[in-house]
């Protein structure tokens, strides 16, 4: 008999955390699920540790291809009506599945549900909630994800399996851009946000996402957003070119900011000028372009590093 929910765990070099991840899944109050763990070429003992845990997980290994490729393989093997995704260093709150499955069961028009998430460190200490850093924005979800930022934590997403039949799988390249899929699903179906934290997103030195260079991340953000807008011209029309240019300018600004904080003033200048060209009405872009043009490299770098420590929500 098919299960209600398929839990897909993409794992890579998380030998210190995978046991806690699996245990948090097994300890759910809702139990009609399967676990499909796709190990994406770990070079440590992640797979051995996972096999030592008392778990229903089907463990499949593959050569390293990137997290979204691992998720795609899991989707291909999934038998559940619903699918959720967990990284091998995260943890689940015990009633997550129960709350989200009930919500999907009660509203067939819902394609995606998500919730707040606790941000924890390597020692399990709670640092913040996702909503403290990236509050959920009101309005059309698909449009706000394009014009502002991603406020849907991957660690709490649950979707109907057939959403991937309608939108296609994740783009299986090296950059982790899976979150842009939520734009598509939000555009063709209803979404629901649960303000209760239902998972723990772990931040530590070996996070795959933290290893991605900001320059690459924002370039791929532009690439993936462009693909979505080309795929859904009605969505592009609803948002308007002015708002889209503003979002793309923001990605250039942020690239310039992080490069300046790293001391690469020449590259930072290039991106700040690009941001100003795309959105010349922004005082922030204008100020950044002026600052980066001053012949004070050390002072400019120090200023950017100081601002970076403030953890401003851009």
- Write the DSSP assignment of 206-247 as a string of letters: T-HHHHS-HHHHHHHHHHHHHHHHHH-HHHHHHH-HHHHHHH
Domain limit, last residue, from 192, 210, 228: 210
The DSSP call for residue 158 is E
HSE, CB side, 13 Å, CA atoms: give it for residue 224.
25
pLDDT of residue 212: 65
Same domain? 136 vs 193: yes
Measured distance CA(55)–CA(172) in Å, rounded: 28
pLDDT of residue 199: 96
Same domain? 187 vs 265: no
Specify the number of domains making up the chain.
2
The residue among 174 and 168 whose pLDDT is bigger is: 168
Domain limit, last residue, from 210, 228, 263: 210
Same domain? 199 vs 298: no
Lowest mean pLDDT among 181-185, 200-204, 238-242, 298-302: 200-204
**For position 19, which CATH number holds?**
3.90.550.10
Is 55 part of a structural domain of the chain? yes
Has residue 129 got a pLDDT over 60? yes
Is 314 part of a structural domain of the chain? no
Is 257 part of a structural domain of the chain? yes
Is 225 part of a structural domain of the chain? no
Mean pLDDT on 236-260: 96
Nearest to 228 by CA among 167, 310, 281, 151: 167
Same domain? 170 vs 42: yes
Same domain? 16 vs 107: yes
> 76: part of which helix (H) or strand (E)?
helix 67-77
Which backbone phi and psi does 42 adopt, to 5 degrees? -60, 145
Same domain? 116 vs 41: yes
Mean pLDDT on 25-52: 97
Same domain? 127 vs 268: no
Same domain? 156 vs 39: yes
pLDDT of residue 174: 64
pLDDT of residue 310: 74
Q: What is the pTM of this model?
A: 0.91
Domain limit, last residue, from 210, 232, 257: 210
Is 178 part of a structural domain of the chain? yes
pLDDT of residue 213: 86
Task: Say how many residues make up the chain.
Answer: 314
Domain of residue 92: give its range: 5-210
Is 217 part of a structural domain of the chain? no
Same domain? 200 vs 257: no
Residue with tokens 């699918």: 83
Has residue 311 got a pLDDT over 80? no
Measured distance CA(264)–CA(275) in Å, rounded: 17
Same domain? 125 vs 9: yes
Split at pLDDT 50, 70, 90, the class of 177 is confident
Percent of the chain with pLDDT over 70: 95
Same domain? 142 vs 44: yes
Is 222 part of a structural domain of the chain? no
Is 291 part of a structural domain of the chain? yes
Same domain? 252 vs 117: no
């Amino acid at each position: 008999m098919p299960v209600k929910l398929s839990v897909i765990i993409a794992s890579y070099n998380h030998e210190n955390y995978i046991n806690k991840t699996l245990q948090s899944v097994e300890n759910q109050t809702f139990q009609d699920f399967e676990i499909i763990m796709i190990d994406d070429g770990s070079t440590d003992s992640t797979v051995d540790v996972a096999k030592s845990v008392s778990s229903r997980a089907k463990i499949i290994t593959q050569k390293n291809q990137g997290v979204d490729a691992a998720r795609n393989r899991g989707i291909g093997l999934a038998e559940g009506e619903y699918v959720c995704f967990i990284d091998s260093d995260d943890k689940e709150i015990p009633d997550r599945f129960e709350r989200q499955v009930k919500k999907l069961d009660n509203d067939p028009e819902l394609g995606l549900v998500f919730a707040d998430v606790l941000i924890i460190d390597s020692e399990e200490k709670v640092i913040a909630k996702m909503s403290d850093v990236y509050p959920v924005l009101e309005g059309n979800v698909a449009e706000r994800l394009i014009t502002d930022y991603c406020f849907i934590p991957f660690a709490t997403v649950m979707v109907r399996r057939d959403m991937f039949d309608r939108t296609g799988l994740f783009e299986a390249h090296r950059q982790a851009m899976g979150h842009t899929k939520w734009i598509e699903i939000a555009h063709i179906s209803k979404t629901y946000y649960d303000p209760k934290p239902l998972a723990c997103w772990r931040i530590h030195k070996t996070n795959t996402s933290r290893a991605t260079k900001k320059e690459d991340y924002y370039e791929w953000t532009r690439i993936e957003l462009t693909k979505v807008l080309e795929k859904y011209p009605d969505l592009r029309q609803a948002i308007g070119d002015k708002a889209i240019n503003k979002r793309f300018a923001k990605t250039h600004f942020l690239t310039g900011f992080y490069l300046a904080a790293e001391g690469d003033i020449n590259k930072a200048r290039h991106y700040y000028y690009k941001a100003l060209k795309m959105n010349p009405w922004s005082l922030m872009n204008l100020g950044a372009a002026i600052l980066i043009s001053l012949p004070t490299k050390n002072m400019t770098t120090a200023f950017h590093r100081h601002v970076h420590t403030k953890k401003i929500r851009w």
